[in-house]
Amino acid sequence: MHHVFRLVLSLFAGLCFSAQAKDGRISLSTQDFPGILTNSGSYVLSESVVLTQAYVFAALSVQADFVTIDLNGHAITKKGGTGEYALFQGSDRHALHVRNGSLSGFDMGVRAGTAARIENVRVSDVNSIIVAGPGAHVRDVQGLGMSLEHAEPLLSAGAGSFLDGVLMAEGSGATSSGPPFWTLVGEASLVHRLIIQDLVSSQTTSATVLSAGMGSVLRRVQLGSLQSEKNLTGLSSSRGIVSHSSVDGLASVSGDATGIRYGHGLVREMQIRLVQDTNGAANASLEHAMWVDSQSTGFPFLPASHILETTRMARNTLNYGSLNVQGGGSALRDNQLNNSTNHVVFMSGVGKNLAIRNSASGNPLPMFSGGLPNGWAQVEAFPDVFFVFTNNPWANLQH
């Protein structure tokens, strides 16, 4: 059969812009680029492609649904001039599958419509690596060398998407403009094993590193070594779950830095450290959230963690910071709060917050500050060995 296949190829060599691979897929080579795919089908790169034209809209513009492009381990590279997209599919299309290769040197790696599948792809030297519609399935994707100078997110996926095994690193922006959301996923998305690190922006507008829509479930998200000129928030979401994640090294040069901003959901097993800014406003903000079993260790530059009303905060460790409880309806249980340079807990709002069985150490000032109708249990200071507090099992402890 190979002989037959070779015969076919020889017959049509020179007649076709494209050829058929031995498994029936349509083979794409340098002569096909830049190109337009108008038919559904399964396409495979037979070689790496380098585009050097002054302007290219898209290396491949996909004007069909159900298109599979197997990069087959090859790369599509734009050198010199302008290339808007490596792979482009309009937002009214669906089911673009891209896999197994590299895209480099374009403004955007992949723009896809609904229900895209992008896997095992490396995208480098771009402004954005992927912008996909709802129902995207993105797995094992690396984005390296990104520019933070445009409004489009570095990575964006619509509602109900699934991101797993995505690494985004080494990005910078030297101008005052930049994306408000460096990474954006729509509501009810599932994000698993996402690493975003080593991004530095000079943008003078507020930015969020990862914004996940309502009801999203985020696990094993790691954000590290991130900096912006103005207000910078690490992770922002609501009405879902964040777990087994970390924000480690987040800085604002002249604005506020916030590790996590969350509402109406559940945050657990979350580590936040080295969140810093020059305004002294760096914080982890939990609004209407529940934060349990967290290990928020080491806040050497974190002066305050805000709880904005109706939050249950239980079994957390907070070091080198104070807890500012605003509004009412919050409960602080079984937290460990160490090395604050101020009061450990400020209850500054309308009250009706409760604090029981917390412990603090290394704090020069009284553990709590605030007034009625808040309630906190008696603070037992300097208990000795074999202490017995039979008169108050709810006591807060301070050493």
- Map the footprint of other proteins across residues 84-113, applying CB under 8 A: 94-95, 97
Structure tokens at 7: 């015969």
Per CB under 8 A, contacts with other proteins among 337-366 are: 351-354, 356
Among 50, 84, 120, 159, binds other proteins (CB under 8 A): 159
Under rule CB under 8 A, residue 370 binds other proteins:
yes
The residue (of 179 and 215) whose beta carbon lies closer to other proteins is 215
The residue (of 116 and 232) whose beta carbon lies closer to other proteins is 116
Least distance to other proteins from the beta carbon of 262, Å? 11
The residues near 349 (Cβ < 8 Å, ≥ 6 apart) are 309, 325, 326, 327, 328
Least distance to other proteins from the beta carbon of 398, Å? 12
Cis peptide before 153 (omega within 30 of 0): no
Cis peptide before 34 (omega within 30 of 0): yes
Closest by Cα among 356, 346, 301, 342 to 324: 346
Among 161, 227, 236, 338, binds other proteins (CB under 8 A): 161
Under rule CB under 8 A, residue 381 binds other proteins:
no
Element containing residue 10 per DSSP (H, E): helix 2-12
Per CB under 8 A, contacts with other proteins among 167-196 are: 187-190, 192
Among 160, 224, 234, 303, binds other proteins (CB under 8 A): 160
Per CB under 8 A, contacts with other proteins among 209-228 are: 214-217, 219
Least distance to other proteins from the beta carbon of 12, Å? 6
The residue (of 94 and 273) whose beta carbon lies closer to other proteins is 94
**Strand (E) positions, 1-90?**
19-20, 26-28, 35-37, 41-45, 49-51, 55-62, 67-70, 75-78, 82-89
Per CB under 8 A, contacts with other proteins among 8-67 are: 8, 11-12, 16-20, 22-26, 31-43, 66
CB 68 within 8 A of CB 41: yes
Least distance to other proteins from the beta carbon of 322, Å? 18
Least distance to other proteins from the beta carbon of 296, Å? 17
The residue (of 153 and 370) whose beta carbon lies closer to other proteins is 370
Among 45, 207, 292, 304, binds other proteins (CB under 8 A): 292
**What is d(CA 163, CA 184) in angstroms, rounded to the nearest whole number?**
11
The residue (of 97 and 230) whose beta carbon lies closer to other proteins is 97
CB 82 within 8 A of CB 56: yes
Under rule CB under 8 A, residue 329 binds other proteins:
yes
Among 137, 200, 205, 339, binds other proteins (CB under 8 A): 137
Tokens 């490596």: give the residue: 86
| Strand 19-20, strand 26-28: pairing | antiparallel
* The one segment of 3-11, 148-156, 166-174, 202-210 that binds other proteins by CB under 8 A: 3-11
CB 76 within 8 A of CB 49: yes
Closest by Cα among 33, 30, 5 to 20: 5
Cis peptide before 180 (omega within 30 of 0): no
Element containing residue 370 per DSSP (H, E): strand 368-370
Least distance to other proteins from the beta carbon of 191, Å? 10
Structure tokens at 196: 């975003």
If DSSP codes are grouped into helix, strand and coil, which group holds residue 215? coil
**What is d(CA 299, CA 362) in angstroms, rounded to the nearest whole number?**
14
Least distance to other proteins from the beta carbon of 395, Å? 8
The residues near 390 (Cβ < 8 Å, ≥ 6 apart) are none
**What is d(CA 300, CA 260) in angstroms, rounded to the nearest whole number?**
17
Element containing residue 219 per DSSP (H, E): strand 217-228
The residue (of 19 and 200) whose beta carbon lies closer to other proteins is 19
Per CB under 8 A, contacts with other proteins among 251-290 are: 264-266, 268, 288, 290
* The one segment of 4-12, 77-85, 105-113, 335-343 that binds other proteins by CB under 8 A: 4-12
Least distance to other proteins from the beta carbon of 15, Å? 8
The residue (of 147 and 246) whose beta carbon lies closer to other proteins is 246
Among 226, 377, 397, 398, binds other proteins (CB under 8 A): 377
